[in-house]
Amino acid sequence: MLPEQVEVIMLTRTTKFYGGSEFKREWFVVDAKDATLGRLAVKIADILQGKHKPTFTPNLDAGDFVIVVNADKVRLTGKKWTDKIYHHYSGYPGGLKSFAAEKLLIKHPDKLVYLAVQGMLPNGPLGYKILRKLKVYAASEHPHKAQTPKVLEV
């Protein structure tokens, strides 16, 4: 072919980037009764980040709100109730506190689910912002009825 006979077809592909005002936030309620902790935390972390939506953007907070009820009835497999240790350091010498999972469940029933989800979110300012959309309650009641949350099966 001669150069003047060649027709150049330019295909332009544009990727749509979404901004903060374009995200529609929903509320979900999850019942943690008899749910395995790790599997529950994975589903919650995905929804908090917005990975279930086509508008997922890794560097923006695109996720939904999640309410977890019955956090005190969550399950752990194997010997994790006694062998899984949670640490908290106050910053002072001798300020390391360690709790087994069963002691943490007795003292702070909501903290077990909270820490599991926190470990699956990104570290830094974006992760902290995402984590604020997680509401964990040990009982079956929650104060977010006005948001009309959808039930999420796990």
pLDDT reported for residue 55: 86
User: Would you say residue 1 lies in a domain?
Assistant: no
How far from each other are the two terminal CA atoms of the chain, in whole angstroms?
61
Q: What is the pLDDT of residue 122?
A: 95
Looking at residue 16, its amino acid is K
Instruction: Answer yes or no: is 8 within a domain.
Output: no
Average pLDDT along the chain? 92
Structure tokens at 141: 């009641």
- What pLDDT shows up at residue 127? 96
With respect to residue 85, please indicate whether it lies within any of the assigned structural domains. no
Q: Is 117 within the bounds of a domain?
A: yes
Two structure tokens written together for 6: 């060649």
DSSP for 49-100, please give it. HTTTSTT--TTS----EEEEE-GGG-B--TTHHHH-EEEEE-SSTT-EEEEE
Cβ count near 36 (within 10 Å): 14
As for how many domains the chain has, the answer is: 1
Question: Domain of 32: which CATH number?
Answer: 3.90.1180.10
Specify if 86 maps to a domain: no
For residue 80, is it within any domain? no
Q: Could you tell me if residue 37 is inside a domain?
A: yes
pLDDT lower than 50: segments of the chain: none
pLDDT per residue as tens digits for the range 48-88:
999 999 888 888 999 999 999 999 999 999 999 999 999 99
Range of the domain at 148: 25-75+109-152
Which pLDDT belongs to residue 115? 97
Identify whether 40 is part of a domain. yes
Q: What is the pLDDT of residue 42?
A: 97
pLDDT given at position 116: 97
